[in-house]
Amino acid sequence: MAKSCEVCGKGYQKGHKVSHAHNVSLKRSYPNLQRVRVVMPNGGTKRQWVCASCIQKGKVTKRVA
């Protein structure tokens, strides 16, 4: 699976998990990527990994069955 959005390039973010005892370990947060059949400008279709925020914002046009 792709780890970043093919439209906006959003990828994982790094951070720390900090317990109550202040034990620190690394963590990664991944975007909500979904495989979508997208309508291309030339009229064709293509499957792409797109994050949910790009779908909600209307940056991609989903193909209607």
The predicted-structure confidence for 11-65, as pLDDT tens digits, reads as follows 999 999 999 999 999 999 999 999 999 998 888 899 999 999 999 999 998 877 6
> What is the pTM assigned to this prediction?
0.77
The pLDDT of residue 54 is 94
How much is the pLDDT for 41?
A: 86
CB crowding 8-20: b at 16 or more within 10 Å, else e = eebeeeeeeeeee
CA distances, 39 to each of 13, 45, 54 (Å): 29, 5, 14
In CATH terms, the superfamily for domain 1-65 is: Ribosomal protein L28/L24 (2.30.170.40)
pLDDT the model gives residue 38: 92
| Position 1 pLDDT exceeds 70 | no
